[in-house]
Amino acid sequence: MLRALLLAVAEFATWTFMGIDARAAEKPNIIFILADDLGYGDLSCYGQKNFQTPCLDRMAAEGLRFTQHYAGSTVCAPSRACLLAGQHTGHVYQRANGNIAFRPDPQDISVARLLKNARYHTALIGKSGLSCRTEDGSHPNKKGFDHFFGYVDHGAAHRYYPKWLWRNGERVRYANNDGFEGDSYSPDLFLEDALRYVESHRDGPFFLHLSMTQPHADLNVPAKWKEPFLGKFQEVPFPGNHYRPEPNPKATFAGMIAHLDHAVGQVLGKLRELGIEENTLVLFSSDNGGMSEGGWSRDYFDSNGPLRGGKRDLYEGGIRVPLIAWWPQHIAAGETTDHVSAFWDFVPTACEIAGAATPADTDGISYAPTLLGRSNEQKRHDYLYWEFYEQGGKQAVRQGDWKGVRLDVQTAYEGPIELYHLGDDLGEKHNVAGDHPEIVERMSAIMREAHVDSQRFKFVKE
């Protein structure tokens, strides 16, 4: 009885903080739309000049655009794990791509479980971030999602015309698809399922994670999306390898972004149509920086803008990503924020918005105060931390405007650290480690503190 009373008091306090009368208001719906390999500069509202993203631009004009938001990692699986578990890569279980998935509850508790416990209906549509590779098509359901439709294997998610997808543990087969071509384009299927889900759960509260796969290679999009861009760019045909051949990579890439932009517009339009837009927080981001694979080069369209590097780097281009927040009548329209935040902040943010208890083991800090225009109440990170296990191992720390990057960690655990001042050098062109040995030592201490060995992931410390 006492525990129930304390939870009720905590929930009322959350709604009071948000400026909403808990007795009169419904819990808000939460939608998180995630792109795959979309660079910081791939949206026109973030500087893209080669094509436009009108729906996302409108979302930003009606909402809040973050300029210093970070993905969980620089590749898919660990980045998405950070988003869904609320921990950085020094703590989260799923720290790399490969044969790995969230463990059964109560291990690796997901945001879906937390919101489901707070009386939300929960759905994951698209590419599951709860597993990089599993044969269990009901895995997302077991981790707290009431509804799942999509891929549980990231390798399978490279193919936009899948032979089958999973729906709540059952295979849905597409007889005319062969992986590379077919009748059923998976992003279309995901959008259709998402719109049906929102309509059928309009009474809320619901949490929908719409996890799209564009613009990850394969480079592939239906002709009607590609055709407006044909002949606009000087193309370098791609003959194919692991990914499908594509004679017009630039037009295809632009068409994939256009399709993604359209999908976001359709979701926001459905909320307006149902009259629930003022009770729905929508967030849009990308799981890591721009890629160069499958016939694509992030340099073609300057996908990462002024940032150095891209996917698989811990420089800014690999981990700084767009974040747009939209919630009419709650989030001020047309604002930007330089609040420094990361994927692991989503769990405490969602919990605060939903009136749910935030897990004690989160590395995140709720950015709800920033969303609601109460920046004077916004807590801030002492530092952000990343580690990456490919290419010899890498670590990075951001603390204030200082950024430390250590390469070849598996070879030299206490090896040299590159140091950059992002306020003066956003492109990380000037390593000033030699001028600031005390800051380098502080970065090294944070790297030691933030990394915790797990059974699966360790750095060699000889």
pLDDT in tens, 380-391: 999 999 999 999
- Say yes or no: 352 and 396 in one domain: no
DSSP per residue, 371-433? HTT-GGG----S-EEEEE-STT-EEEEEETTEEEEE--TTT-TT---EEEETTT-TT-----G
96 within some domain: yes
Res. 21: pLDDT tops 70: no
Q: What is the CATH number of the domain that holds 404?
A: 3.30.1120.10
Res. 22: pLDDT tops 50: no
Dist CA 8 CA 431 (whole Å)? 51
Task: Please choose, from the candidates 186, 158, 178, the residue with its C-alpha nearest in 3D space to the C-alpha of residue 263.
Answer: 186
- Say yes or no: 365 and 399 in one domain: no
> 462 pLDDT band (50/70/90 cuts)?
low
Q: Does this model's pTM top 0.85?
A: yes
Mean pLDDT of the 81-85 span: 98
Res. 57: pLDDT tops 70: yes
pLDDT in tens, 197-221: 999 999 999 999 999 999 999 999 9
Alpha helices (runs of H) in 87-138, residue ranges in sequence order: 111-117
In three state form, how does the secondary structure of 190-256 look? HHHHHHHHHHHCCCCCEEEEEEEEEECCCCCCCHHHHHHHCCCCCCCCECCCCCCCECCHHHHHHHH
Split into its structural domains, the chain has a count of 2
| Residue at a domain's end among 353, 377, 401 | 377
How much is the pLDDT for 5?
37
90 within some domain: yes
How much is the pLDDT for 459?
87
- Say yes or no: 96 and 157 in one domain: yes
Which residues form the domain of 129?
2-377
**Torsion angle of the four alpha carbons 79, 85, 87, 89, in this order, in degrees rounded to the nearest 10:** -40
* Mean of the per-residue pLDDT values of the chain: 94
> 304 pLDDT band (50/70/90 cuts)?
very high
What is the enclosing helix (H) or strand (E) of 31? strand 29-36
Contact predicate 268/277, CB 8 Å: yes
462 within some domain: no
Q: How many residues does the structure list for the chain?
A: 462
- Say yes or no: 311 and 424 in one domain: no
Dist CA 54 CA 68 (whole Å)? 22
**Torsion angle of the four alpha carbons 430, 426, 317, 77, in this order, in degrees rounded to the nearest 10:** 100
Residue whose tokens read 């580690």: 387
- Say yes or no: 361 and 229 in one domain: yes
Mean pLDDT of the 427-439 span: 98
Rg for the chain (alpha carbons), in Å? 21
| Residue at a domain's end among 377, 398, 426 | 377
Mean pLDDT of the 168-192 span: 98
Contact predicate 72/89, CB 8 Å: yes
- Say yes or no: 94 and 207 in one domain: yes
β-bridge pairing 402-406 and 418-421? antiparallel
- Say yes or no: 310 and 442 in one domain: no
DSSP-derived letter for residue 152 is S
Report cis status (omega within 30 of 0) of the bond before 106. yes
Report cis status (omega within 30 of 0) of the bond before 205. yes
> 139 pLDDT band (50/70/90 cuts)?
very high
458 within some domain: no
pLDDT in tens, 95-113: 999 999 999 999 999 999 9
| Residue at a domain's end among 377, 396, 418 | 377
Give counts: helices (H), strands (E), the chain.
Answer: 12, 15
Quick check: helix, strand or coil at residue 218?
A: coil
Contact predicate 274/23, CB 8 Å: no
50 within some domain: yes
> 124 pLDDT band (50/70/90 cuts)?
very high
- Say yes or no: 269 and 143 in one domain: yes
